[in-house]
Amino acid sequence: MTAAQFAQESSSTGEWKRQGNRFTGRITRDSRSAPGQGPDDQGRWPVEPGRYRLVVSLACPWAHRSVIVRRLLGLEDAISLAIVDPIRDERGWRFTLDPDGRDPVLGIEFLSEAYLRTDPSYDGRVTVPAIIDTRTGEVVTNDYPQITLDFSTEWTDFHREGAPQLIPPDRAEMDELIEDIYRDVNNGVYRCGFATSQEAYEAAYDALFARLDILEERLADRAYLLGDTLREVDVRIFTTLVRFDAVYHGHFKCNRQKLTEFPHLWAYARRLFQLPSFGETVDFDQIKRHYYVTHDTINPTGIVPKGPDPRVWTT
């Protein structure tokens, strides 16, 4: 399945290049559309609680971000949640976790149905997270970096009392850090795992661990990446760190050392894990089954490792 799914993202030099996000609509407070209507002429959908459905896989780090932020901000009642099966077949993400194999709200068996309803010519990879308009069944967005930012900035009327301010007033430092972490760590583990040449793999590997070394040093004297306050950037790195030893270290050959062998990064990751909305949204079973069963050119036997013991996160 891996070769067919990711062929379009492999370069002639063996470097893996992630596809862009096809659907980039936004749900914003300044949309000129009335409630119940579609996007305005700038592609902005109206903020409307109960209208949109967030489709995620608990295995996927990009989707996991949106699950954490949705819960941190208290948006569970405003934006409903659908969870796909961690095992994809040739048709992509499936709603086989639901009793009748269909999402009970959207009425579809595969997320690809919503993609094709929105764009019948779409032939790229179907990705999560995706926000679906329940009125039309169309995809509003699969732009995972923007989804969580908009949860913080556009849905403020529906945040729970005392919700964290995940975006600082001055975003410059955080945005630079997010970019570095995305390039070298979040996407870097995939560039290692899906590389098809030794040179591409080693370049991604070196960049990954160089960045982890920098972050290890950064966390020597602070609780979070930007100081004493939890921010969006902490959510973004957590979803990679929590998968590191379980899948990226072995499956993606990111094996210079384990997360547990970085004293400050490991302490930081465990601290995040024990916060509300973080560890309680981690499903190691779904994470491991997705990576080791779905990527059959990397792991052709489909054997799922028994370890590591998840109790290390809480003991």
Sign of CA dihedral 164, 168, 173, 176: positive
Secondary structure (DSSP) of 50-96: TSEEEEE-TT-HHHHHHHHHHHHHT-TTTSEEEE--SS-BTTB-B-T
Catalytic positions, please?
60, 190
- Residue 147 neighbours by CB distance under 10 Å: 25
Element (H, E) at 298: none
Residue 91 confidence (pLDDT) = 87
Selected from 1.20.1050.10, 2.60.40.10, 3.40.50.720, 3.40.30.10, the CATH number assigned to the domain covering 172-313 reads: 1.20.1050.10
Contact 22, 118 (CB under 8 A): no
The CATH architecture one would assign to domain 19-158 is: 3-Layer(aba) Sandwich (3.40)
The one-digit pLDDT tens for each residue of the chain (315 residues) are 444 445 566 666 789 788 778 899 999 999 999 989 999 999 999 999 999 999 999 999 999 999 999 999 999 999 999 999 999 988 899 999 999 999 999 999 999 999 999 999 999 999 999 999 999 999 999 999 999 999 999 999 999 999 999 999 999 999 999 999 999 999 999 999 999 999 999 999 999 999 999 999 999 999 999 999 999 999 999 999 999 999 999 999 999 999 999 999 999 999 999 999 999 999 999 999 999 999 999 999 999 999 999 999 998
Q: What is the pTM of this model?
A: 0.95
What would the two tokens of residue 239 be? 């979803």
Q: Where are the domains of the chain?
A: 19-158, 172-313
Instruction: Please report, for residues 26, 71, 152, 163, 270, the alpha-carbon distance to residue 274 in angstroms, rounded to integers and kept in the order given.
Output: 31, 14, 22, 17, 6
